[in-house]
Amino acid sequence: MSGIVGQNLGRGSGLIKAGAIDDNSVTLAKMAGLARGKLIYGDTNGDPAALDVGGADEVLTHDGTDFDWAAAGGGGKIVQYTNNTSLSAVAITSTSDVATNCSGAITPTSSSNKIIVTASFGLHSYDNSGNCCRGRMRIFRDIGGGGFSDSIQAGEINFGHCKTETDTQERAEYGWPTICFVDSPATTSAVTYTVYGSVSSAYSLTFGASSQLQTMLLMETDES
């Protein structure tokens, strides 16, 4: 079929009778030009309309009524990271928390972003006096030089062992503990994270013994 039925009003007349075009007979070549990147949609009057081109990296959204362009969400994207390492050992014999060389700093780009904190460190516990070789590790945080606080980490990491042997028996253990959690510092000031350690009784807990590596990896995530 020709695609036109009924009276032919002539080329260029601009007039075609209602129902004079067969279904599916208009090709793209017959449509009016449309600027690159624009989209055809139904407007408030139910008529075809052209949606303007969006900005770079914007995405097409819908509010339940109309289309629009909006910035793409970035939640969970890694914005930046820092990775600090140390081979300097710190021996701890105190029942109070002592700072180690497993430490790192990062300056968040947004106060709404979160920090993934991962600390890994070689550890050695030793005792020859009959005490249990048991220590604990926690990560303390300092914001902008305001002082360290251990309130950021729920719980603690325990390391070591106890044995029912002769009191003078030497007891030693090597390990590689890892602490990993997500922090919300709510700041754009420099944030420093440091592993602190302590012992439960009179024995030695050494971070980085025999040049074992200590690593503090900090990753900022975009929560927008």
List CB contacts of 44: < 8 A, sequence separation 6 or more: 66
Q: Supply the CATH classification number for the domain 77-222.
A: 2.60.120.1340
Assign 74 a pLDDT band (cuts: 50, 70, 90).
Answer: low
For the stretch 104-159, pLDDT in tens is 999 999 999 999 999 999 888 777 766 666 778 889 999 999 999 876 766 666 66
The span from the CA of 179 to the CA of 53, in Å, is 47
Top pLDDT among 27 and 92 is at 92
Q: Would you state the pLDDT for residue 6?
A: 47
Domain definitions of the chain by residue range: 32-71, 77-222
Q: Whole-model pTM?
A: 0.65
Question: Please, what is the average pLDDT of the chain?
Answer: 81
Burial class (CB in 10 A: 0-12, 13-18, 19+), 119: buried
Inter-residue contact 83 to 146 (CB < 8 Å): no
List CB contacts of 3: < 8 A, sequence separation 6 or more: 21, 22, 25, 26
Sign of CA dihedral 155, 157, 163, 167: negative
Burial class (CB in 10 A: 0-12, 13-18, 19+), 218: buried
